[in-house]
Amino acid sequence: MNGDQLLRQMHGLKSVFENKESELTSLDREIGDGDHGVNMKRGFSAVSEKVSAGSAPEVMRQTGMTLMSSIGGASGPLYGFSFVKMSEVAKEDIDKENLIEILDTFAATVASKGKVEGGEKTMYDVISKSSELLRKTGALKLDDLQSLAQDTEEMMATKGRAAYFKEQSRGTIDPGAQSAVYVIHALGEGVAE
Ligand code: ADP
Ligand code: MG
Ligand code: MG
């Protein structure tokens, strides 16, 4: 995946999040403040306006900077800073091997910035298992990613706004885990082209 291909994937997330806005909003309405759909849509709409051609690492870095400045809430700095850190390990031409490294960096950045570990019902539960998925199956299939998000449904949240819901947070997929499915799927699609 070169810079042009990555740019196409990042710009493509604008319409993905337009289509998924209501899904993410309903999840966040159950265990948060109901803005995750709007946040992701606003973030990737800004990416499609502001991020222009460059090498793959440049596109990744610009995407991160744009997400940081356009998404409010917890997810903005987590996704934004992660993309900036991921750009530091991205090659000019991202292959599967490099994407594994990029996804490991994604997980490590969210872990340190969010002070989160597995099983806390966050985006980290999808992100942290994605590189292993790619290594094992050779792909990042939507169904496989979705089943990682599905695993957060029965978890009890201990981080972010959802943690205020305590036991009541069980029974809903974490909104950030769901948005991570789409972000990671887009990266995988670019490499599979
Ligand atoms: P906010 O909760 O501030 O309104 P969003 O609704 O955009 O922000 O994002 C909520 C998502 O952010 C959650 O579903 C969760 O996946 C993720 N999140 C929140 N806090 C953390 C954290 N400390 N570590 C990892 N992810 C987190
Ligand atoms: Mg929210
Ligand atoms: Mg909010």
Average pLDDT, the chain: 97
122-146: pLDDT as tens digits: 999 999 999 999 999 999 999 999 9
Residue 165: pLDDT over 90: yes
**Enclosing domain of residue 61:** 3-192
Give the distance (Å) from ligand 3 centre to CA of residue 60: 24
Residue 193: pLDDT over 90: no
Give the distance (Å) from ligand 3 centre to CA of residue 168: 19
| Rounded-to-integer distance, Cα 94 and Cα 168, Å | 41
Instruction: Specify the CATH number for the domain of residue 180.
Output: 1.25.40.340
pLDDT score, position 108: 98
Q: ipTM above 0.95?
A: yes
Tell me, using a 6 A CB cutoff, whether residue 126 lines ligand 1: no
Identify the residue whose C-alpha is closest to ligand 1 atom 12.
75
72-100: pLDDT as tens digits: 889 999 999 999 999 999 999 999 999 99
Total number of domains constituting the chain: 1
